[in-house]
Amino acid sequence: MITSNEKIKLKKYKPTCIWFTGLSGSGKSTLAAGVESKLNEIGVHTYLLDGDEIRKGLNKDLGFSNEDRTENIRRIGEVSKLFTNAGLIVLAAFISPFKKDRDIVRALHGENNFIEIYVDCSLEDCEKRDPKGFYKKARSGEIKDFTGISSPYEVPLSPEIKIANGNERDVDDNIMIILDFLYKGKIVLK
């Protein structure tokens, strides 16, 4: 039987779930896509799970109540586990506002196969960016239960990586911080 360590040596990476969390507009999807691109350049097999895409298909039956948000993250956790079991590095970009839900996904993957990245961007900066116009709609009452406005976001207390995604760093620098972490932690072998 081939051991996990032998598989990692063969593939040159360890199947892992990299979970990007933060407010809407914080840059989670941009960073996840950038990291995925860099990993693919070096031959790492990945899959990017993004909140907008999942809500159009798998979770289109869910709303934004606290219960539906929990179910959304539970389903995504199960899907991401299937992909890591298939030998991929999964990059999951989801607001995932509740600590208990992120903890459930972490437990599902196991402590050594899950990396939480908190994309720390102030509500003010996220509202300025507002690429989809959600904050404007939430402030006007068109969107109810919007994370950061009328629904809470529980900041991760001890993520593996915290990315300050205000104006002080560019996307490429933040991608390199994440890649360096993956190399140092031997998630990706050089």
Angle at 178 between CA 20 and CA 82, to 5 degrees: 50
Is 56:179 a contact under the CB 8 Å cutoff? Answer: no
Could you say which of 26, 96, 140, 151 is catalytic?
96
Cα–Cα dist 39/89, whole Å: 9
Residue matched to tokens 């109540």: 65
Written as one letter, the residue type at 59 is: N
Cα–Cα dist 163/174, whole Å: 7
Is 96 a residue of the active site? yes
Q: Give all strands of the β-sheet with 17-21 in edge-to-edge order.
A: 46-50, 89-93, 17-21, 114-120, 161-164
Q: Which residues carry out catalysis?
A: 96
